[in-house]
Amino acid sequence: MAPPLLQLQAIHLTFGGTPLLTSADLSVEAGDRLALVGRNGSGKSTLLKIAAGLVEPDGGTRFAQPGATIRYLLQEPDLSAFDTTLAYVEAGLGPSDDLYRARMLLNDLGLTGEEGTASLSGGEAKRAALACALAPEPDILILDEPTNHLDLPAIEWLEKAIKASRSAIVMISHDRRFLENLSRATVWLDRGETRRLDKGFGFFEAWRDEVLEQEEMAQHKLDRQINREEHWLRYGVSARRKRNVRRLGNLLGLRKDFREHRKAVGNVSMVVSEAEASGKRIVEARGISKSFGDRKIVDDLTIRILRGDRLGLVGPNGAGKTTLVRMLTGTLEPDEGTVKLGANLLMATLDQKREELDPATPLAEALTRGRGDYVTINGENRHVIGYMKDFLFTPEQKGTPVGVLSGGERGRLLLARGLASPANVLVLDEPTNDLDLETLDLLQEMLTDFPGTVILVSHDRDFLDRVCTSVLVSEGEGHWVEYAGGYSDMVAQRGAGVQARKVEAAAKAAAPAAASAPAASADAGKRKLTFREKHDLDSLPGRMEALGRDIAKLQAILADPALFTRDRPAFDKASAALTKAQGELQAAEDRWLELEMLKESLEA
């Protein structure tokens, strides 16, 4: 068995007097697809930084195979040292790496490479960072929340890229579907220690619940044993002094074990502050349209939202989902058409950008909105400390400024604020950002049980499937279509998932042409080979030659008439490899021929 590419053993690390990691292990072998899971604040990102060699632990060992290449994707990448996205990606390549691959990956991710890094959105910066991590094809690729800021087309593209990659992958993600589709093993970081399940994330939750149940039973048995020993201490001490002293020492040890046992972190307790029931009709939009300049955001949309509906809006970044939500909720007037809101509506909104949170505001004041020490939930006053505990905040965090909270803590704070407002309509714009999986589960249950109406914008496919009764999908050019059911139901009805916005790609392609001299206008409509096509055309001959050599070697091995009886596993392995190589050669030849014909037709 080959040694691991990377191994962490007995890692421990303490921040500010509190142990974060106490005995964490991580082993990464070639071809691994590991999901690292755990509650927000459990130290997952820190453990990955130790694995990448960016953070030095207080104790334990880190071993990486000499020459093994490791790339680490940060949650919030910093591109400020580079002028363009292409310069940023090319800086991550080694001397022997393929320069074409940098441009190709950027193009696949909807970027040209010429974007200035100072003006990138969060989604564009994440796409450039993904291209930088994938371009060198490292031995180990470490991904920390790779789907944050990505839209559905980019997430599904990334899944395909990872499946095709030869790199070993270690990933943290709150996107359940992403983990289920890609992981083959799961590492659970819990209370400073790691446990490994050699199955994908789809099996994790049942296993985790079983582990916690066994742990609770063991603690219960320990508690009963302590009670028996304490009864003996009070009533059963006899003259056999040495044995009794030893038994008393054992009791003290049991007490110490019981006190020092770190219980699993509690669950978020979510209750929405419900308002009186609304009328049956929530929103009725007829023939609404909205444009910004020449760009159509919504074109002649008619939709009715009734009490109890849970409508999800899906589409690529820039499709206008947030704009459409604002029109449907009456905060933005359409250019054409009418929007009628129902009677007795009380809306609570969760803002994806979190702009409403003043960084200097103390946590407790943000929850009470500066109105004393109490929060009113369903007509009952609750002290802010108790309400904080429901969302896993400690009493000591009462005065903590919002600006120093982690992304997950800010997400929980926004949920706590939003759910405290009396509402019969919840408007949620990307509510899943930075939430751990357990919190997501409870949010899903709460929304499913909520008797009012939910309007939801999300790129989380599993969340959409569990919550929505229908989804409204951007089909491009301002055209929106409603489908019954969740995201998977929409894909089944539509025959495809959400596509990248074509308008954006066309605009980027047109930008260089607009800067060209007038003489170039005659060639503006001429089709050219893309960077991927050029790269394939240049690299495929070498690939076909290498496959031809591999096929010849395998045919020579199989030419041995005694191999089948002497070493059946070797015969089967060589046969499978030959079939695979012949298929790849056929595909490469077909692709090269297709591109050659395309090149000739374009040159003609």
CB 165 within 8 A of CB 140: no
- The whole-number average pLDDT for the span 88-109 is 90
CB 81 within 8 A of CB 74: no
Q: Which residue has the higher pLDDT, 437 or 223?
A: 437
Question: Is residue 229 assigned to a domain?
Answer: yes
Q: Phi and psi (nearest 5°) for 338?
A: -130, 150
Asked whether residue 518 carries a pLDDT value surpassing 70, the answer given is no
Q: Which residue has the higher pLDDT, 264 or 447?
A: 447
- The whole-number average pLDDT for the span 118-145 is 91
Residues 165 and 39 in one domain: yes
Residues 378 and 293 in one domain: yes
pLDDT at 516: 39
Q: DSSP for 275-335? A: -S---SEEEEEEEEEEEETTEEEEEEEEEEEETT-EEEEE--TTS-HHHHHHHHTTSS--S
Question: Is residue 515 assigned to a domain?
Answer: no
Asked whether residue 12 carries a pLDDT value surpassing 80, the answer given is yes
Task: Give 268's Cβ-side CA count (13 Å radius).
Answer: 27
- Please give the radius of gyration of the chain, using alpha carbons only, rounded to the nearest integer: 29
- The whole-number average pLDDT for the span 32-42 is 89
Q: Residue 21: which H helix or E strand, with range?
A: strand 18-28
Asked whether residue 510 carries a pLDDT value surpassing 60, the answer given is no
Q: DSSP for 425-459? A: EEEEESTTTT--HHHHHHHHHHHHH-SSEEEEE--
Asked whether residue 136 carries a pLDDT value surpassing 70, the answer given is yes
Q: How deeply is 259 buried, as exposed, middle or buried, from its count of CB atoms within 10 A (0-12, 13-18, 19+)?
A: exposed
Residues 315 and 227 in one domain: no
Residues 236 and 198 in one domain: no
pLDDT at 582: 81
- Tell me which of 32-41, 96-105, 272-281 is least confident: 272-281
Residues 304 and 425 in one domain: yes
Residues 484 and 537 in one domain: no
By DSSP bridging, strand 310-314 and strand 453-457 are parallel
CA–CA gap between residue 209 and residue 242 (Å, rounded): 43
The CATH number of residue 441's host domain is: 3.40.50.300
Question: Is residue 267 assigned to a domain?
Answer: no
Residues 252 and 198 in one domain: no
Question: What pLDDT band is residue 564 in, cutting at 50, 70 and 90?
Answer: confident
Strand partners, 284: 304, 340
Q: What is the chain's mean pLDDT, rounded?
A: 82
The CATH number of residue 590's host domain is: 1.10.287.380
Question: What pLDDT band is residue 481 in, cutting at 50, 70 and 90?
Answer: very high
Range of the structural domain that residue 214 is part of: 207-260
pLDDT at 353: 54
Q: Which residue has the higher pLDDT, 499 or 432?
A: 432
- For the stretch 396-453, pLDDT in tens is 888 888 887 776 777 778 778 877 777 889 998 888 877 777 778 878 888 888 888 9
Asked whether residue 240 carries a pLDDT value surpassing 60, the answer given is no
Residues 192 and 244 in one domain: no
Last residue of a domain, one of 139, 173, 206: 206
**pTM score, two decimals?**
0.70
Overall number of domains in the chain: 4
Question: Is residue 523 assigned to a domain?
Answer: no
Residues 215 and 232 in one domain: yes
By DSSP bridging, strand 70-73 and strand 453-457 are unpaired
State what percent of residues in the chain have pLDDT above 90. 38
- For the stretch 137-189, pLDDT in tens is 999 999 999 998 888 989 999 999 999 999 999 999 989 999 999 999 999 99
Question: Is residue 287 assigned to a domain?
Answer: yes
Q: Which among 334, 269, 353, 339 has a CA at the least distance from the CA of 296?
A: 334
CB 471 within 8 A of CB 465: no
Question: What pLDDT band is residue 335 in, cutting at 50, 70 and 90?
Answer: very high
Residues 240 and 305 in one domain: no
pLDDT at 562: 80
CA diameter of the chain: 110
Q: What residues contact residue 81 under an 8 Å CB cut-off, 6+ apart?
A: none
Polymer length in residues for the chain: 604
Asked whether residue 521 carries a pLDDT value surpassing 50, the answer given is no
Question: Is residue 400 assigned to a domain?
Answer: yes
Asked whether residue 329 carries a pLDDT value surpassing 80, the answer given is yes
Question: Is residue 97 assigned to a domain?
Answer: yes
CB 2 within 8 A of CB 29: yes
- For the stretch 357-395, pLDDT in tens is 778 888 888 888 888 888 877 667 888 888 888 777 888
Q: Which amino acid is at 581?
A: A
